[in-house]
Structure formats: C-alpha cells, structure tokens
Amino acid sequence: MSTTSLTSPAASRVRHSLAPLTRIAGLTLCALLTLGPVIWTVSTSLRTPAESFDLPPRIIPGDATLDAYRGVFDQIDVWLYALNSTLVTALIAAGQMITAGLAGYAFARLEFRFKKPLFALVLATMMVPLQVTMVPVFLELKEIGLTDTLLGLIVPAFPTAFGTFLMRQYFLGMPKDLGEAAMIDGAGPWRVFRSVYAPLAAPGLAIVGVLAFNYHWNEFFRPLILETSTENLTLPLGLVSLQGNLGTGSISVVLAGVVLSMLPAVAVFVVGQRPLREGITSAGVNR
Amino acid sequence: MTNTEIRSVRPEPAGPRKTRGPRQSREPSESTTSTTPASRSRGARLLAVLFLAPTVVGIVVFTVVPIVGSIALSLFQWDVIEDPRWAGAANYREILTDSTVLVSFRNTLVFMVLAVALQLLIALALAIAVNGRMPMWLRSVFRSAFFFPLVLSAASLSVVMKYLFNQDFGPVNWLLGTVGIPSVPWLTSENGAMAAVVLAYVWQQFGFSFLLFVGGLNTIPKEVHEAASLDGASGPRKHLAITLPLLSPTLLVASVVGIINALQVFEQPYVLTAGGPGDSTRTVVMVIYETAFEQLRFGEASAVGVLLFALIMAVTALQFRLSRRYVHYQ
C-alpha cells in the first residue's frame, strides 16, 4: 500500500531497507504466538491420550486419531447443544437485524417528537454493563416463566443499542435525494423505506448480523445464569461441563470439544471477516 | 459524546452524500418540517412509532427497568422464597465490610490496570508495525492472525489456557524453560494466577484495540510522516511526536472500551482459576454471580452491581475529563 515516496532522499531509503525485514520477522513471531494456542488445541485434540501431554508439543501428532472426537459425542449431546446454540444465535441475529434496521432508519430519516432524547437513551444503554441488569432481568424472566428456556435467552437480546447506532450512521450516509425523488413520484414514507433505502442497507445489516452471530455464539454469562436443565445448554456451557465431568487423564476429549465449538465461529470469521472487522473498528462497545 | 468518539474512529460509510446548502442539515431543528405536507409527516410519524417500538420497548423492559430495579433491590433483603424485607443501607454496609467483596474490587482494579496497559501497548506496537511497508497479502495475513482469537469463545479458550498454564505439563512453562526461565506456578500461586488470567484475557482481547488502531492509523495522512522524515526525524521519534498525538482520539476510545470491558471480566477467572487460589483472582462480576445465583442473596448482589456500575461511570467520566488535556482532534 505505502509506496516509496519519490521525494524521500536516497539516504533514508538505504537506512530503511533493512528495517522492514526485522519488522516482518517480529510480526511473524507475534502471529505465531497468537495462533499458537489454537494450533496446539487442534493438534492435541488429534492425539492419543498417551501422547496428549507430550513435551515439546508435536504439531503433527505421531498417529493422528479421531478417538477424542468420538469421546465428545459419547459424553455430551453435541448435536443438541449445537442445535440450541444455532437456534439462539440465528434468531438473535435475525431479530437484531430487523430491530436495528427499523430503529436506525427512524433515527436517521424520519421526523417525530422526542427524537433526540430517545436517541440519547439508546446511546446511554451502551454503557450499562450486563451484570448490573442481570439480576432484575432474571427476575423479570422468572415472572413470565422464561427462565430455563431458550426463548428467555433470545428475546432480551433483540434490542441492540450498538446495532441501532450503526444502522443510523449507515442510513445517514445515503443520499437524501433518492427518497425525495421517490416522494415526488408519489411514494409514501413506507414505500420510500421499503423500495429505496432498505435494499441499500444490506451491507450495514450484514455487519449487525455477523457481529450478533459472533457475540452470541460465544456467549457464556447469560446462558450460565438462565439455563439450568441439561437439555437447554448451549455449546460453551456444554464444553465447560465436559471438562468438569472428566477428571481423568485425557485432555484430548476436552480439546476436541473446544475445536468443535470453534468451527462455526471460524466459518463466520472466514466468510464474514470484512463485516466483522468493520463492525469492530467502528467501536463495538457491545462486548 | 460517545457519538462523536465513535465517529472519529471510522469515517461514515462512504457514498455520495449531496448536501444542498444549510437548509439540508442532517438534524433538522425546529420548524423545518412545517414545510412538508401534513399527510406525509403524519404517515412518517406513524411509521417512526412502529419502527422504534421494538427497540425502545426492549430497551425499557430489559435495561431501564432493570437498572431502576437493581437500585431498588439493593435496598432490600430478598432470597426469592420469602417476601422482600426493607434493608435500607444495610446491604451496602454489609458488602463494604465483607473482605471477599473488598478483595474482589481490588483484584478487578489490579486486573484492569494490568490488562488494559498490556493490551494497548501490544496492540499499538503491532498496529504500527503492520502499517509499515510490506506486501498487501502479508499485511492482511497479519491483520487476520491478530484478530482471530477475538472471534473465539472466551469460555472455551479459558479451558485451553488451563492446560497451557499447567505447571508441570503445560507448554507455557516448557517454552519458558527452553529460554532458561524456571517453572512458574501459574495457577497455584496468587501472583501467578493473576498473571495467567491477565495473559489469557489480553491474548484474546488485544485484537480489538489492534483493529481500532489500524483504523486510526489509516486516517493519518502519509504526507505528515514524509515531511517529518525530510526534517530528519527518526522512526521512534516520528511515532512519539506525530503518530501518538494524531492517534489520541482512537487511543481514548480504545482505553475507554478496554477499561469498561476489563471491569466486567468473568469467563477467564471463572473457568481458569475459579477465583483462586484463595480469593486472589475473584473479580466483582464473579462475586455478583455467586451472591445472586449460588447464595440467592439478591439484595446484596444488586448492591455490588450498583457499586460496580458507579465505578465504571466514575472511571469513564474521569477519563473523558483527563482526555481534554491530551486528545487532539484534527
């Protein structure tokens, strides 16, 4: 990206010619350290119990085996937890895209009373830590009988202050003339939204959806509090319980479970890297 | 205020926005709407109500009411089974003399300082390095590598970390051993456990600040650095004198978000150390969880929550106040 500037004196070009190599070597080392624990997890999950504590850790297992993965499926109901996680995560992501899309549009393009205070309220809730509201939310959900249900996990996660803020910025970035032209042609406010602006919002909604998927797939605190029955656990909880059940020698099984739970997150990372990065770069106060 | 901070990190989505003079300002104030036909604005108002309802009702039910509820609940003694009993300030008196609660606040503050400082330093150094001259593909490989841990689950990674930090068979001590550092009792000594929790957290989280810094560095015009080089400034000096001040709005956001997140740490100490040894890694959120959902003392748990909230507000406000002196907006 940064090309050698034509104006820079020859001396500085010589001085800098070695620096990039050491810098890139340093970055490579840091990248290896960053990915190291993940690589170790994958390789250990493929080892036999006897080899699992080998030091130095061998990246390529002596005789790779999928026994540990079979062990995970034997010990916990991976399919059920994966289904629960998928259901919860997908519904929250869809719900957030809808609520944030609608509210973001209203704040960006519609006129109504109390717009500023309402928007300030939405922004302010970004600052409220989850733990402060969790006890009363738990009691509310208990009152309406939603504790220990997946629905109790889903519904409170629908409104998203950060998503609303993001979508407002997105709609504000679109030219006003489009909507005005449609209005002159006789379109009402709903038509303007539905036919003109909503289709343009897809990339912004993708950011909201991918962020929601990533956050809620990995969520631990709320499910830990809300879900008590084994059949309502999500994957992260199932995994931690897997670790508790074990107590025996093989760590391969636990790590195989970790790898299984990572797969969808990795898939989202590969497919949705750009939206994820953009969403986080625009300051995810969300997490 | 959050508004402008965030906008400063990332320019609004690109796209031709045609402004046609001051009348078209984005936030129409006062009576500009009176020019639109009544029918149109009535339709728009109805639409606004429908569009806002899910978000506003949701936020009121699941955030505003619970905040008020938390404050109210903190004044009662309640175990769900019996009716709540008025307690006044008794819950606060109790938690402020409870050594576990006090230690948890101390731990959380120590954790916050260590984690945020380490996270920002690592992220800043890596962002500056990645921003230097190198092939495009290599840059994106590094960028992906550094933000990868962020997409994984903190709970699962903490399970992994528990094995990595094992004193006898853990790869961390083995790695340190190869450079001659004797084995560290990571999870069994007080300081070791805090260090392990901090490292596990920073390892997963630094990618967040890293992405913010990469975004912030991209907004600094290249000419500024070139001009400095012509004037004979060296690499480190350029970064201290130019990059840091120009990056200060991003630094503010990264540290505010970093602090707010660090004060809420839960997964790492819960899975990695279970708060131990002793209470050495018990954090405030762990105490809230244990008090409310294990001991069913909802009143005391709410009081701890209210104190944590006050702490977060105070630290954030202090930061914005201090930042007035050193944050430069372009």
Residue B309 to residue A176, Cβ atoms within 8 A:
no
The partner residue sitting opposite B153, judged by closest CB among A16, A133, A265, is: A265
**Contacts with A158 from chain B: Cβ below 8 Å:** 54, 58
**Contacts with B83 from chain A: Cβ below 8 Å:** none
Q: Which residues are within 8 A (CB) of B175 and not within 5 positions of it... i.e. 6 or more apart?
A: none
Q: Which residues are within 8 A (CB) of B141 and not within 5 positions of it... i.e. 6 or more apart?
A: A31
Cβ–Cβ < 8 Å for A284, B208? yes
Cis peptide before B245 (omega within 30 of 0): no
Cis peptide before A159 (omega within 30 of 0): no
Q: How far apart are CA B44 and CA B116, in angstroms?
A: 45
**Contacts with B66 from chain A: Cβ below 8 Å:** 132-137, 140
Structure confidence at residue A244 (pLDDT): 64
Residue A111 to residue B28, Cβ atoms within 8 A:
yes
The interface predicted TM-score of the complex, written ipTM, equals 0.85
Say whether residue B227 is in contact with chain A using an 8 A CB cutoff: no
Residue A135 to residue B139, Cβ atoms within 8 A:
no
Residue B147 to residue A23, Cβ atoms within 8 A:
no
**Interface mutation vs chain B, best among A15, A22, A27, most B CBs within 10 Å:** A27
Phi, psi of A233 (to 5 degrees): -70, 150
Cβ–Cβ < 8 Å for A67, A48? yes
**Interface mutation vs chain A, best among B3, B10, B26, B52, most A CBs within 10 Å:** B52
Structure confidence at residue B301 (pLDDT): 93
**Contacts with B24 from chain A: Cβ below 8 Å:** 176
Q: From the CA of B211, how many Å to the nearest CA of chain A?
A: 6
Residue B230 to residue A8, Cβ atoms within 8 A:
yes
Burial of B244 (0-12, 13-18, 19+ CB in 10 A): middle
Amino acid letter, residue B144: S
pLDDT-flagged residues of chain A (< 70): 1-18, 50-58, 62, 244-250, 282-287
**Contacts with B236 from chain A: Cβ below 8 Å:** none
**Contacts with A235 from chain B: Cβ below 8 Å:** 153
pLDDT in tens, A21-62: 888 999 999 999 999 999 999 988 888 776 666 666 667 776
A and B: number of Cβ contacts within 8 A: 326
Each residue's pLDDT expressed in tens, for chain B with a length of 330 residues: 333 333 344 444 444 444 444 444 444 444 444 444 444 577 888 899 999 999 999 999 999 999 999 999 999 888 777 778 888 888 999 899 999 999 999 999 999 999 999 999 999 999 999 988 888 899 999 999 998 999 999 988 998 999 899 888 888 998 898 888 888 899 999 999 999 999 999 999 999 999 999 988 888 877 777 777 777 766 677 777 778 888 888 898 899 889 999 999 999 999 999 998 999 999 999 999 999 999 999 999 999 999 999 999 999 889 888 888 777 765
Residue B312 to residue A127, Cβ atoms within 8 A:
yes
Q: From the CA of A103, how many Å to the nearest CA of chain B?
A: 5
**Contacts with B235 from chain A: Cβ below 8 Å:** 19
Cβ–Cβ < 8 Å for A190, A252? no
Q: From the CA of B143, how many Å to the nearest CA of chain A?
A: 9
Residue B12 to residue A285, Cβ atoms within 8 A:
no
The partner residue sitting opposite A135, judged by closest CB among B132, B154, B301, is: B301
Q: Which residues of A177-186 are buried (b: 16+ CB within 10 A; e: fewer)?
A: eebeebbeee
Structure confidence at residue A3 (pLDDT): 42
- Among chain A residues, the shortest Cα distance to B172 is held by A37
The C-alpha angle B75, B78, B82, rounded to 5 degrees, equals: 140
Helix (H) or strand (E) holding A270: helix A252-271
Of the candidates A216, A161, A285, A97, the residue with the CA atom closest to the CA atom of residue B64: A161
Structure confidence at residue B19 (pLDDT): 43
Cβ–Cβ < 8 Å for A130, A215? no
pTM for the whole thing? 0.85
- Among chain A residues, the shortest Cα distance to B145 is held by A31
Residues 86-125, chain B: which have Cβ within 8 Å of A? Answer: none
pLDDT in tens, A217-245: 999 999 999 998 888 999 988 888 777 65
**Contacts with B255 from chain A: Cβ below 8 Å:** none
Structure confidence at residue B103 (pLDDT): 96
Beta bridge partners of B76: B86
Say whether residue B289 is in contact with chain A using an 8 A CB cutoff: yes
Q: Which residue has the tokens 């895209």?
A: A97
Amino acid letter, residue B207: G
Structure confidence at residue A1 (pLDDT): 41
Cβ–Cβ < 8 Å for B67, A132? yes
Cβ–Cβ < 8 Å for A76, A242? yes
- Among chain B residues, the shortest Cα distance to A260 is held by B156
- Among chain A residues, the shortest Cα distance to B28 is held by A111
Q: From the CA of A198, how many Å to the nearest CA of chain B?
A: 13
Structure confidence at residue B235 (pLDDT): 67
Q: From the CA of B179, how many Å to the nearest CA of chain A?
A: 13
**Interface mutation vs chain A, best among B12, B134, B160, most A CBs within 10 Å:** B160
The C-alpha angle B291, B294, B298, rounded to 5 degrees, equals: 45
